[in-house]
A and B are shown apart, each in its own frame.
Chain A
Amino acid sequence: MASSQLGTDVSGLSRLRAALPFSTRDWGLLLVAPGAILFSSFMLYPIIYLFYISLTDATFAGSVIGGGAQLIGLENYVQLIADPQFRTSMFTTWLFVAVSLVFKVFLAVGIALLLNHVRVAGKRYMRAAVIVPLGFPGIFTITVWRGMFSDARYGVFNTILGRYNELMSSVSAPELLLFDVPIGFLSGRWEAFFAYVTTEVWLAYPFMVIIIVSALQDVPRSLHEAAMVDGAGALQRFRTVTLPAIKGPVLFASILTAATSFQQFLIPWVFNQGGPSRQNELIIVYGYREAITFNQFGLSAAILIVGIAFVGLFMYAAVRYGGLAEGVGDE
C-alpha cells in the first residue's frame, strides 16, 4: 500500500519534472534568482509603473496613490512633443553628452599614456592619486566644483583668471587674450554649460584611465621595440601599436560613461538647478522639476520614460555593435 503510494508519487514527480521547462542541471538559476527578483521588484517594476503614470493625468503624488487619476492615453506624450522646453532639454542633454565625451577621451588617453610612460618616475603613485575622484561621493565633489565656479569676484576660478589677466597685461599682451572678470559661471547659459562639462569630465576620467592603463599594460614591450627597430617614430608607433590596443577599451568606456552622462542629474541640480531660466535642464532634471516644482506627475513620468527609452536604446546599441556583452553568450 505504502510502496504503491510511493510509486505513484515518484512517477508523478518525474512526469512533473519532464513537464518543467528546466532540469536539475539548471540549479544555477537558484543562485541567480534572488538578485534578479530583488532587482526586478525595485527597478523594473517601478519603470512599468512609471509608464502607467505617464498615461494618466496625475498631478500630484496623492492623485497617483489615491487612484484619483484618469487614464488619458498618450496625451502627455503629445503635449511633450509640442513643448519647446522638451526640445531645449533634449538638445542640451545630447550636446552635454557629446562635448564631455570628446574631452573625457582626450584627457583620459593623455593621462593614461603619460602615467604609463617609461620616463615617468613614481608613476604608480601618480596613478593611485589621479583615480581618487572616483572614491569621493558625488554630492561632495560636485558641491566643491560649484564653489570653485562661484560667480563672486573672489571665487576660485575668477581669482585665477584675474591673476592670469594681470600676468598677461604685464607682458602687454593684446586685449583679445584677456578675460572679462568676474565671469558669471553659473548665471550665463553657456558659461554654466561649460562648468557642467568640466565637472563631468573630472568625475568620469578616472574610470577611463583605469581601463586604458590596464589595456596599455597588456601591450608587450617587444612590440614597441620591434617598431622602433623598424624606424617608426613616436607618432607612428602610437598609431600602429598603441591605438589598436586601446581602441576597444576606449570605445567600451566611452559607451558606459556616455550613458551615465545622459542621466546626469546632480551636476545641473546642485550648480543652478538647470538654470538660468531652465535653459540647461538636462533630461532627468527636467522630468524631476516637472514633478516636484510644477506638480505635473503625468507629464514628468512621460519625460522620464522618454529619457529611459533613450538610455535603453543607447545600451542596446552598445551591446549589439560595441561588443559590450562579449562573453555573455559564448563560454
Chain B
Amino acid sequence: MSAIRAFASFVAAKLIALATAPQRFAVMVQRAVYDVRTGKRTAWDVTKSVLMTLFGLAMVLVLLFPLFWITTASLAEGSRLFNTSGIFPDPTTYNLGAYRWVIFESDFFFVDGDWGYPQLVLGGESGLVSFRWAGTETGPGALFNSLYIVSVTLVAGFGMIVPAAYAFSRRQFVGRKRILYGYVLFTQIGAGLSIATLVALYSLFSTYGLTNNLFILGLFYAASAIPFNTWLLKTYMDNIPVSYEEAAMVDGASFLDTIREVILPLTKPGLAVVLIFVWLAGWNEFIIAQTLLRPENYPLSVELYNIATEGRFSTPWTRFAAFANLFALPVAIVYFAAQRSVEDGLSFGGMEG
C-alpha cells in the first residue's frame, strides 16, 4: 500500500515538475533580460548561453530522429511511406488504422484479435477454483506469453540477485572473490553469449525435454541477467556506510531489522535499475525464444521480429511501428520516469577517479 502511495506521489511530482517547466523557463528568460538591462551580464554573454542551448536542443533532435520518424510512420496506415512526398508521411493522412490493426487483428492481445475476458470457474475438473478465457475462440495472445516469461524472470532474478548482492557487499565467505571475478568477467556477455551458445542450448533443451516451456525460458533469461545485475547492486550497496547498520544494531535492531530498515530503503534506486534491466532481459530477447518455442507460445518480441521480416525486402512499416510502439512504450515510460535512478545506479560508485 505504501509502495503504491510512494509511486503515486513520485509520478505526481514528475508531472508537476514537467508542467511547471515552461514557467521556470519564463522566469529564467526574465532574469536574463533583467541582468542585461542592469548591466550584470553583457548581451554577448546571454547570446552565448542561448546558442549553446540551441545547439544542445538540435543535437537531441538529431539523436532522437529515428524514434520520431517511426512514430509518425505508425500514424500513416494506408499511405505509402517511401514516396516522393518526403521523409515524413503527409500529416493530413494521419490515422490510427495501424493501432486498430494491432489491437483487433494481430496476435498482440488475443490471437487474431479475438478479444475475450477472464472467467472464474467454480468446481469442475481442474480443481476447486480455476480460471479460463471466455468469449474468445482463439485464446490469449503474445502479450500474455511475454508477461508470463517476464514474471518468472523477475521473481527468479530478484530472489537471487538481491541476497547475493548483499552477501557480496557485506559478508566474507569462502569463494567470494572467485565467484565475483567470474561474474565480472561475464557482465557484458548477456545476450551475445546466449546466441553464441544457441547451438548447444537447443540440443541440451531438447535432450532434457525443456523446449516449448515458457517457465524454463523465463529462468534462462534470469540466469543471463544475474552477473551484471548482481555486480551492479553490489557496487551500489558498497556505497552505503557500514556505520549505519552498526548504529542500528547498537540501538537494538536485529540482523533482519538492519536489512529491512537500512539496506533495502537505501538501495531503492539501485533496485529500480535492476528491476528495469531484469525486465528488459525477459521482455526483449527473441532469437532463443523463437528457436525454443512453438508458434502458439511466441512472446511479443518474436511476433515483432516476424512482422519486421514478413516480406524479404519490405517491412509493413506502419503496422510494425504501431506494434513496436505498443510493445516498447510501457517500458520506455517507466525507464524515462526512473531516469534519475538509472543515472545513479549506473554510476558504479567506486568506479570514478
| Chain A contacts to B: CB under 8 angstroms | 21-22, 25-29, 31-32, 34-36, 38-39, 41-43, 45-47, 49-50, 53, 61, 64-65, 111, 114-115, 117, 119-123, 125-141, 143-148, 150, 152, 154-156, 159-160, 202, 205, 207, 210-211, 213-215, 218, 245, 248-249, 252, 256-257, 259-260, 262-265, 270, 284, 287-288, 291, 297, 300-301, 304, 307-308, 311-312, 315-316, 319, 324-329, 331
Q: Given the known A-B contacts A32-B167, A42-B219, A327-B235, are A64 and B203 also in contact in the complex, defined by CB atoms under 8 Å?
A: yes
Does chain A have a CB within 8 A of B254? no
Does chain A have a CB within 8 A of B256? no
Chain A residues whose C-beta falls within 8 Å of the C-beta of B201 in the assembled complex: 46
Q: Of B25, B59, B189, B351, which contacts A315 at CB under 8 A? A: B189
Q: Which of B1-9, B117-125, B334-342 is the contact stretch? A: B334-342
Q: Which of B80-88, B90-98, B100-108, B130-138 is the contact stretch? A: B80-88
Q: How far is the CB of A150 from chain B (nearest CB, A)?
A: 6
Chain B residues whose C-beta falls within 8 Å of the C-beta of A202 in the assembled complex: 63, 66
Q: Are B180 and A218 in contact (CB under 8 A)?
A: no
Which residue of B has the minimal Cβ distance to A38?
B223
* Interchain Cβ contacts under 8 Å between A and B, 13 examples: A22-B174, A35-B226, A45-B204, A65-B207, A117-B52, A137-B280, A137-B284, A211-B351, A263-B192, A263-B196, A265-B192, A301-B199, A328-B180
Q: Are A325 and B184 in contact (CB under 8 A)?
A: yes
Q: Given the known A-B contacts A43-B193, A144-B66, A152-B82, are A31 and B184 also in contact in the complex, defined by CB atoms under 8 Å?
A: no
Does chain A have a CB within 8 A of B176? yes
**For this complex, into which size category does the number of interface residues on chain B fall?**
35 or more
Does chain A have a CB within 8 A of B348? yes
Chain A residues whose C-beta falls within 8 Å of the C-beta of B224 in the assembled complex: 42-43
Q: Are A263 and B193 in contact (CB under 8 A)?
A: yes
Query: How far, in angstroms, from A144 to B308 measured CA to CA in the complex?
Result: 9
Interface string of B323-353 (1 = CB under 8 A from A): 0100110011001100100111011101111
Q: Are B83 and A316 in contact (CB under 8 A)?
A: no
* Other A-B pairs, 11, CB within 8 Å; known A146-B315, A154-B83, A284-B195: A31-B166, A35-B164, A47-B197, A61-B206, A64-B203, A138-B284, A205-B63, A215-B353, A263-B189, A264-B192, A311-B188
Does chain A have a CB within 8 A of B43? no
Does chain A have a CB within 8 A of B154? no
Q: Are A315 and B188 in contact (CB under 8 A)?
A: yes
Query: How far, in angstroms, from A212 to B276 measured CA to CA in the complex?
Result: 21
Query: How far, in angstroms, from A29 to B284 measured CA to CA in the complex?
Result: 31
Q: How far is the CB of A133 from chain B (nearest CB, A)?
A: 8
Q: Are B197 and A324 in contact (CB under 8 A)?
A: no
Does chain A have a CB within 8 A of B34? no
Q: Given the known A-B contacts A26-B174, A125-B21, are A260 and B352 also in contact in the complex, defined by CB atoms under 8 Å?
A: no
Which residue of B has the minimal Cβ distance to A252?
B351
Does chain A have a CB within 8 A of B115? no
Query: How far, in angstroms, from A27 to B234 measured CA to CA in the complex?
Result: 17
Which residue of A has the minimal Cβ distance to B334?
A135
Q: Are B352 and A121 in contact (CB under 8 A)?
A: no
Which residues, 216 to 259 on B, are CB-close (under 8 Å) to A?
219-220, 222-224, 226-227, 230, 235, 238
| Shortest 7 CB-CB contacts between residues of A and residues of B | A263-B192, A28-B171, A135-B335, A214-B347, A35-B160, A42-B223, A28-B167
Q: Are B339 and A29 in contact (CB under 8 A)?
A: no
Does chain A have a CB within 8 A of B320? yes
Which residues, 278 to 327 on B, are CB-close (under 8 Å) to A?
280, 283-284, 286-287, 301, 304-305, 308-309, 315, 317, 320-321, 324, 327
Q: Are B60 and A137 in contact (CB under 8 A)?
A: no
Q: Given the known A-B contacts A34-B159, A324-B184, are A122 and B284 also in contact in the complex, defined by CB atoms under 8 Å?
A: no
Q: Are A126 and B174 in contact (CB under 8 A)?
A: no
Does chain A have a CB within 8 A of B15? no
Q: Given the known A-B contacts A31-B164, A39-B226, A126-B60, are A327 and B346 also in contact in the complex, defined by CB atoms under 8 Å?
A: no
Chain A residues whose C-beta falls within 8 Å of the C-beta of B220 in the assembled complex: 42
Query: How far, in angstroms, from A331 to B352 measured CA to CA in the complex?
Result: 17
Does chain A have a CB within 8 A of B10? no
Q: Given the known A-B contacts A21-B174, A26-B174, are A265 and B200 also in contact in the complex, defined by CB atoms under 8 Å?
A: no
Which residue of B has the minimal Cβ distance to A215?
B352
Q: Are A213 and B343 in contact (CB under 8 A)?
A: yes
Query: How far, in angstroms, from A53 to B170 measured CA to CA in the complex?
Result: 41
Which residue of A has the minimal Cβ distance to B307?
A143
Chain B residues whose C-beta falls within 8 Å of the C-beta of A49 in the assembled complex: 200, 203-204
Q: Given the known A-B contacts A27-B173, A119-B49, are A114 and B56 also in contact in the complex, defined by CB atoms under 8 Å?
A: yes
Q: Are A245 and B192 in contact (CB under 8 A)?
A: no
Q: Are B67 and A136 in contact (CB under 8 A)?
A: yes
Q: Are A129 and B173 in contact (CB under 8 A)?
A: no
Q: Are B21 and A122 in contact (CB under 8 A)?
A: yes
Q: Are B308 and A143 in contact (CB under 8 A)?
A: yes
Q: Are A119 and B193 in contact (CB under 8 A)?
A: no
Query: How far, in angstroms, from A122 to B18 measured CA to CA in the complex?
Result: 11
Does chain A have a CB within 8 A of B265? no
Q: Are B185 and A312 in contact (CB under 8 A)?
A: yes
Chain B residues whose C-beta falls within 8 Å of the C-beta of A65 in the assembled complex: 203, 206-207
Q: Are A319 and B346 in contact (CB under 8 A)?
A: no
Q: Of A53, A131, A144, A154, which contacts B70 at CB under 8 A? A: A144
Q: How far is the CB of B164 from chain A (nearest CB, A)?
A: 4
Q: How far is the CB of B149 from chain A (nearest CB, A)?
A: 14
Chain A residues whose C-beta falls within 8 Å of the C-beta of B343 in the assembled complex: 127, 131, 210, 213-214
Q: Of A34, A117, A140, A311, which contacts B327 at CB under 8 A? A: A140
Chain B residues whose C-beta falls within 8 Å of the C-beta of A137 in the assembled complex: 280, 283-284, 301, 304, 324, 327-328, 331
Q: Are A128 and B336 in contact (CB under 8 A)?
A: yes
Q: Are A38 and B219 in contact (CB under 8 A)?
A: yes
